[in-house]
Structure 1
């Protein structure tokens, strides 16, 4: 089954997260080898369809360094 995913593709997770932070909307995800910035409604739609993907976000480690954290869904 092919599912159309509505979002903006980025070369890196860092770029997608930064763009989402800059515009104040959207969630960075990785799916099928692509890094996308999508609206929350698209994340909900993909989740409800049972599509496997991962959320991408900043996470501060013990030393305060920012790292990209991936959280698998489905």
Structure 2
């Protein structure tokens, strides 16, 4: 699943967030877009993602979490 996250404050570093997410989902990808929103691709469910971000020091409300539609074409079979 892909998410755009607009936290009210960026307390945690991108490295800290990535490390915390990778402990739960080794294939998770994290970056920041030009608007300053966190972009996350992960297999974690919404509640798990919110918990992991909180443990990384980034407090995110459920309303700050936007799940994006899948871009999967099914071509790779994954």
Per the TM superposition, whether the score is higher than 0.5 is no
Q: Per residue, is there more strand in 1 or in 2?
A: 1
| TM-score (norm: length of structure 1) | 0.33
- The structure, 1 or 2, with the larger RCO (C-alpha pairs under 8 Å, 6+ apart) is 2
| TM-score (norm: length of structure 2) | 0.32
